[in-house]
Amino acid sequence: MKKIVMFTMGTRGDVQPYICLSKELMKNGYDVTLGSHPCWRRLVEEAGIHFEPIGPDIDIEQEAAVIRGKTHNAMLSLIKCMNFIMKIIQGSSKEVYEICKGKDLIVVSHSQMGAVEAGVLGIPTVNVTLQTEMIGEKLRKQTVKNKLVGGMIARQVAKPYNKIRRHYGLKPVKSADEIMSDKLNLIPISKYVIERNPYWEEKNVITGYWFDEEETYTPDGKLEEFMKAGEKPVILALGAMSFEDRSEKDKLGMFVKAFQKTGCRAVIQGFRKTLGDYELPDSMIAVGSVPHSWLFRHGKFVIHHCGFGTSASTMIYGIPSIPVPHVLDQLGFAMQLEKIDVATKHIDAKDLSEERIVAAIEEMNSTYLVKKRNAESISEKIRTENGVSEAVRLIGGVM
């Protein structure tokens, strides 16, 4: 039995795609190990996957909330989060190296975790890329300006990996491309959402989204009763962005008042600290972890942070969006949704206000039929791609 290991750092949205991939690989006879923050042990093991804890035992979503709370600049917030994760990756290299021993393939996640260690051990790799902007246009004729700018960016991206390489006595690389697989880079996004860049090398393959239906979920009585009590509610799902460093009553209040002004029923995820002593009106309900596969099918539209996983879920399950991106990569996913007309114009998190939320809801209501039809259409197309099965087929082809 071929042994595969993959590592991923970050919030639940950074872990979920690899859970889906792991399960499909296991169905196809592979022995799979998934390594991540210790806080994700239960999530991974409940999916039936062998888990290996990597790095310090911290609440990563809480840590990310603290970092975000110190700056409202999307670029700075992203950089600070990335630097925090990179320090964990650098400090975990010894653990990663030991877990990689004896494996037949390393699936290198979007954080590039495991790439250097695989190289040291001589184990082949397959990459996964979530942000297509990170894929080099190797087939494009390079101008002097492009080479200079691209070189500067490439060197900055390579810096943290060169620290790991130094530990193993390896020469530094000029670009992260040099530690990427020369066989296969999987892009778990739908071809109906992004077009393949003609300047990409052949190894970069758009597979379609990786998702799990989770049809077995049964809501608790309170949520089920709420859903039956009136028209479909708005879903407020800010993901890790709704994990607070401190109580954020003003922020939650903006949404609550906007929902009341526009006559919306609402299901609210997250805001655990704020909701501790916050009384919601009867037209709204707070819920914990509810699978998108169930929740999004029962909502009218979703207000979300545009993380990779949540953005994908809105299209997989055919529900329109109001995007509220908090960091730079989320802005990119928001623009994808806007481009295919399944979302309103996004609201930058730093500009969030009751008035802007009301305006976005009114825009959604006035264009809802078109956006809902578009979302359902793209959902049907996504399901024909069988993205995770295609990824497993491609992986099998390089082993």
Domains, the chain: 3-183 (3.40.50.2000), 221-384 (3.40.50.2000)
321 close to 301: Cβ distance less than 8 angstroms: yes
What pLDDT score was predicted for residue 149? Answer: 45
* Sheet with 234-237: strands ordered across: 284-287, 266-269, 234-237, 302-304, 321-323
DSSP per residue, 118-133: HHHHT--EEEE-S-GG
- Between CA 371 and CA 301 the distance in angstroms is 10
Which pLDDT value is given to residue 140?
Answer: 83
- Residue 71 has a pLDDT of 58
The type of residue at 41 is: R
| Nearest by Cα to 382 from 213, 186, 184 | 213
Output the tens digit of pLDDT for each of the chain's 399 residues: 999 999 998 888 889 999 999 999 999 999 999 999 999 999 999 999 999 999 888 777 666 666 555 556 656 666 667 777 778 888 899 999 999 999 999 999 988 899 999 999 999 999 999 988 888 888 787 766 555 545 555 566 677 888 899 989 999 988 878 889 999 999 999 999 999 999 999 999 999 999 987 667 888 999 999 999 999 999 999 876 555 556 678 889 999 999 999 999 999 998 887 888 889 999 999 998 888 999 999 999 999 999 899 999 999 999 999 999 987 788 999 999 999 999 999 999 889 999 999 999 999 999 999 999 999 999 999 999 999 999 999 999 998
Q: Which two tokens stand for residue 263?
A: 């006559």
Task: Give me the phi and psi of 111, to 5 degrees please.
Answer: -85, 0
Is the whole model's pTM more than 0.75, yes or no? yes
pLDDT at 206: 98
Collect all residues with Cβ–Cβ distance below 8 Å to 283 and sequence separation of at least 6: 230, 259, 260, 264, 265, 266
3-state DSSP percent of the chain in helix, strand and coil, to 5: 50, 10, 35
